[in-house]
Chain A
Amino acid sequence: ETGVTQTPRHLVMGMTNKKSLKCEQHLGHNAMYWYKQSAKKPLELMFVYSLEERVENNSVPSRFSPECPNSSHLFLHLHTLQPEDSALYLCASSQGNIDSGNTIYFGEGSWLTVV
């Protein structure tokens, strides 16, 4: 139990579906992240929110749409995905800037399969 909770843990969706991934952190942190982990690839940063404002978007396709309504919740809205988007999606949070030495804590991830 890391204090970062993700739902659903597993999701299968068709290419025309719309679904959302949810993340909630109970650590009092002020930054939240979405990472994508595909087989044989390093963890890829998708989005960063600090104090509920998006501070980084690593050229992620528009079929992924993040939403951060407050510092404890983060969503990833999914629309018309492709099979290559099948991966483990990890939410994480931290207190302040990572380059100040603050650690990020990961949720358990949401396994997404696009069929």
Chain B
Amino acid sequence: GAVVSQHPSRVICKSGTSVKIECRSLDFQATTMFWYRQFPKKSLMLMATSNEGSKATYEQGVEKDKFLINHASLTLSTLTVTSAHPEDSSFYICSATGPGGPQHFGDGTRLSIL
């Protein structure tokens, strides 16, 4: 089946650091990738939708300068949390989908900002 690889699985870093998370579709071309944030015991909150080769569409309330998303190829999207602060600590999950197909999720990244 379709596989999405998300890396790293866990990051612990100091406040003020920028952190990059990668999301790769390993065996299919992902025309669209999604980035979600999940708070403890809550459902997924969509942060942004990125289509290959174009700028990401951010959901209301998500700072685009804070959460930089790049989707340069059909198999890779990155999320960079710039100048991270403790309130950015969360579980971030990406998903990828082809035209009309199901979403395939990565295993998530646990981000902890000290």
Whether both chains belong to one complex is answered with no
| Chain A residues proximal to chain B, CB less than 8 Å | none
